[in-house]
Amino acid sequence: MRRIDCPHCKREIFYRMVKDVPTFPFCSERCKLVDLGAWLDEAYRIEEPASAEALRQLEKKERGENG
Ligand SMILES: [Zn+2]
């Protein structure tokens, strides 16, 4: 069993796999929506989407390739 704290209300959640918690990493749909709402609020202020090139670089790094 693993344990995480709900990022919103700090309640403990015990789970074996992430898919056991439909609202992961939140304890409930309510916490998820509240937190997501706050996050979207932030996101609207950020107007710099990750470029395709940046994503390719990341993929390369993960595979350990040098070009
Ligand atoms: Zn919660």
| pLDDT tens readout for residues 9-67 | 999 999 999 999 999 999 999 999 988 787 777 777 766 666 777 778 878 888 876 65
C-alpha 6 to ligand 1 mean position (Å): 5
Q: Residue 4: its pLDDT value, please?
A: 96
Residue 7 CA to ligand 1 centre (angstroms): 7
Q: What is the pLDDT of residue 16?
A: 95
Distance 28 CA to ligand 1 centre (A): 6
Neighbours of ion ligand 1 (CB under 5 A): 6, 8-9, 11, 27, 31
Q: Residue 5 pairs with which residues in a beta bridge?
A: 12
Write down the pLDDT at residue 62: 80
> What type of residue is 33?
L
CATH architecture of 2-63: 2-Layer Sandwich (3.30)
For the chain, the residue count is 67
Which residues 6+ apart lie within 8 Å of 29 measured at CB?
A: 23
pLDDT of residue 30: 92
Q: What is the model's pLDDT at position 50?
A: 67
Residue 49 pLDDT? 63
Centre of ligand 1 from the C-alpha of residue 35, in Å: 9
